[in-house]
């Protein structure tokens, strides 16, 4: 049997100047055990042959064995972390290469927790099993919520101990992404590579990820516009389902417009735009309601790296870029309102409908109403027992809303498609992770199954919609690095 059958790995990143990467192989682990393997994703990636060989899966995705044609590397990048610029890079991740899927699209295959690199900055290059399982279930949940995201192909228990304030089981995740290039990669090119090498990198990004721009006269300016559009779409989608990324540093912003790096992420329960769960976000920089503002901030950093290539006259380049960035608030507002109209089943919005949105969110915040359950209840046209539904103000609002959508032909179908009935709630995630790390996968399996049908209103399992009183009051998430 040819173990490399259907591997179509190559690594176009190796065509770039060497300042952008380090050639390196994963560090083997002592006693790997397969915990999860995403067969459906493997088939999509033309890797179906792996589904029948558990040992091969374990060896490949622990980093103990590489495909014969694999030329692995770690990527260099920089980034603004909480507004402060620093040199970074793949300190615990190694890119195996790019695989062609069944639709002839290229996807990166990367191992996380696969050992030290020159970018490890004193770290051990490893990851905890719990943090890798968290990324697996969160990224797959986001995929089924119809949100652009990296995906997870496998999780391996390394059989080794990882120290993070205490000893933890180690893990290796296989991450799939359209790209692992970040805003921080552009920052690295701008500050640490020659201008000529940086231009080669920018042209590589356009050629691989945005080929429609190749014939554009102002391709670099158009690149800013396109990435801005993708980021607006992404953040609006996060808002649609109540997702809080938690650490929106520029090194965690993918130029492909995918959600990436799930360390301290969580989902909002009681609606409050100031909600923060990340233990390191002490000032609320990346709070739920701030995410679009941070996306704009990150985009200004990204645009700043391209100024030298947009116009030889720096003042003219700044003017052109500023004209593009100035469109962000308007474009975001239009997309956000359009999303909220869909959540309320409004097919043909009018200006006055914006007040319905504003009033509802204000009522939800004052009554600490559950974000997901409120919109699910409206979709099902049912009442809840919480204080929101018992308030006269909400009853008045709901009557006006019912009157507004009564002639909208597809109102409830639109709502079903945009309002998930299930999310990976914080208490469900924590319980599933704890049990899975201790060898009991049942809760994790059940949660994965539920999150694959998150818009299935026919199931309507009330237990999975519970928001336990007080659980989120002191709940904190961690990067897990």
Residue-wise pLDDT for 44-68, tens only, equals 999 999 999 999 999 999 999 998 8
For residue 354, tell me if it sits in a domain: no
CB 110: neighbour CB atoms within 10 A?
23
CB 293 within 8 A of CB 231: no
- Sequence-distant (6+) residues with CB within 8 A of 434 are none
Residue 211 in contact with residue 218, Cβ under 8 Å?
A: no
pLDDT number for residue 480: 66
Q: What is the pLDDT of residue 5?
A: 61
Dist CA 113 CA 92 (whole Å) = 5
Residues 261 and 169 in one domain: no
Nearest of 402, 399, 398, 408 to residue 348 by alpha carbon: 408
Catalytic site residue 396? no
Task: Give the residue-averaged pLDDT of 374-383.
Answer: 92
Residue 42: give the domain boundaries: 12-180
Condensed to tens digits (0 to 9), the pLDDT of residues 89-100 reads 999 999 999 999
Whether residue 239 is found in the same domain as residue 118: no
Give me the long-range contacts of 456-465 (CB less than 8 A, separation at least 24): 456/421, 457/376, 457/379, 457/380, 457/416, 457/421, 459/421, 460/380, 460/421, 461/422, 464/422, 464/425, 464/428, 465/372, 465/373, 465/376, 465/421, 465/422
Cα separation, 347 vs 178, in Å, equals 32
| Catalytically annotated residue among 251, 261, 281, 370 | 251
Shared-domain flag, residues 27 and 145: yes
Q: Report the distance separating Cα 457 and Cα 107, nearest Å.
A: 33
Indicate whether 139 and 28 sit together in one domain. yes
Do 279 and 302 lie in a common domain?
Answer: yes
The whole-model pTM stands at 0.96
Same domain membership, residue 162 and residue 18:
yes
> Tens of pLDDT along 203-219?
999 999 999 999 888 99
Is pLDDT of 241 > 60? yes
- Give yes or no: residues 95 and 228 share one domain: no
Last residue of a domain, one of 303, 321, 336: 336
Query: 276 in a domain, yes or no?
Result: yes
Whole-number pLDDT of residue 7: 86
- Which of 205-209's residues contact partners 24+ apart within 8 Å by CB, and which partners? 205/181, 205/255, 208/12, 208/106, 208/179, 209/178, 209/179, 209/181, 209/255, 209/256
Boundary (domain end) residue, out of 149, 165, 180: 180
pLDDT interval class at 411 (50, 70, 90) = very high
- Distance between CA atoms of residues 224 and 297, nearest Å: 13
Same domain, 28 and 119: yes
Domain count, the chain: 2
DSSP state of 386: S
* Angle (CA) 90 95 101, round 5°: 140
Quote the pLDDT of residue 2: 41
Over range 315-335, report the average pLDDT: 98
Sign of CA dihedral 312, 315, 316, 322: positive
Same domain, 66 and 30: yes
Q: What pLDDT score was predicted for residue 470?
A: 82
Q: Could you tell me if residue 168 is inside a domain?
A: yes
User: pLDDT tens digit string along 154-179?
Assistant: 999 999 999 888 899 999 999 999 99
Where does a domain end: 153, 180, 207?
A: 180
CA 159 from centroid of its chain's CA atoms? 28
Domain shared by 163 and 106, yes or no: yes
Q: At what angle do helices 353-366 and 328-343 cross, to 10 degrees?
A: 80
Q: Is the pLDDT of residue 423 over 90?
A: yes
Same domain (yes/no): 155, 126: yes
Answer whether 231's CB lies under 8 Å from 260's CB. no
């Amino acid at each position: 049997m040819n173990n490399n059958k259907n591997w179509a790995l190559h690594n176009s990143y190796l065509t770039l100047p060497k300042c952008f990467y380090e050639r390196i192989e994963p560090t083997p682990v002592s006693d790997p055990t397969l915990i999860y393997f995403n067969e459906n994703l493997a088939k999509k990636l033309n890797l179906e042959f792996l589904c029948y060989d558990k040992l091969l899966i374990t060896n490949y995705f622990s980093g103990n064995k590489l495909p014969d044609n694999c030329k692995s590397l770690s990527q260099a990048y920089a980034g603004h972390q909480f507004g402060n610029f620093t040199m970074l890079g793949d300190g615990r991740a190694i890119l195996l290469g790019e695989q062609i899927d069944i639709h002839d699209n290229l996807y990166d295959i990367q191992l996380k927790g696969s050992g030290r690199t020159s970018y490890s900055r004193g770290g051990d290059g490893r990851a905890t099993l719990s943090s890798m399982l968290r990324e697996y279930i969160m990224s797959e949940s986001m995929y089924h919520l119809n949100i652009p995201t990296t995906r997870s192909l496998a999780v391996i228990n390394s059989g080794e101990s990882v120290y993070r304030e205490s000893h933890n089981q180690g893990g290796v995740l296989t991450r799939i992404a359209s790209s692992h290039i970040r805003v921080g990669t552009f920052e690295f090119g701008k500050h640490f590579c020659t201008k000529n090498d940086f231009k080669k990198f920018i042209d590589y990004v356009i050629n691989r990820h945005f080929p429609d721009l190749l014939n554009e006269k102002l391709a670099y300016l158009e690149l800013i516009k396109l990435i801005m559009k993708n980021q607006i779409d992404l953040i609006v989608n996060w808002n649609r389902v109540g997702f809080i990324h938690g650490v929106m540093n520029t090194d965690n912003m993918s130029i492909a417009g995918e959600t990436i790096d799930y360390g301290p992420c969580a989902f909002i329960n009681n609606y409050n735009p100031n909600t923060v769960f990340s233990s390191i976000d002490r000032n609320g920089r990346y709070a739920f309601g701030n995410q679009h503002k941070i996306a704009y901030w990150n985009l200004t950093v990204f645009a700043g790296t391209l100024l030298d290539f947009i116009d030889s006259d720096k003042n003219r380049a700044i003017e052109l870029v500023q004209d593009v960035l100035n469109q962000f608030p308007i474009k975001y507002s239009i997309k956000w309102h359009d999303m909220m109209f869909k959540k309320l089943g409004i097919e043909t919005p009018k200006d006055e409908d914006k007040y319905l949105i504003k009033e509802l969110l204000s009522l939800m915040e004052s009554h600490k109403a559950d974000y997901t359950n409120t919109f699910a209840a409206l979709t099902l046209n049912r009442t809840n027992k919480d204080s929101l539904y018992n308030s006269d103000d909400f009853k008045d609002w709901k009557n006006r809303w019912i009157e507004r959508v009564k002639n909208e032909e597809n109102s409830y179908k639109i709502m079903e498609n945009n309002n998930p009935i299930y999310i990976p709630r914080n208490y469900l995630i924590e319980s599933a992770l704890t049990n899975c790390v201790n060898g009991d996968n049942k809760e994790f399996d059940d949660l994965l199954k539920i999150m694959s049908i998150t818009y299935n209103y026919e199931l309507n399992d009330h237990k999975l919609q519970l928001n336990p009183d007080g659980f989120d009051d002191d709940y904190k998430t961690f990067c897990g690095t």
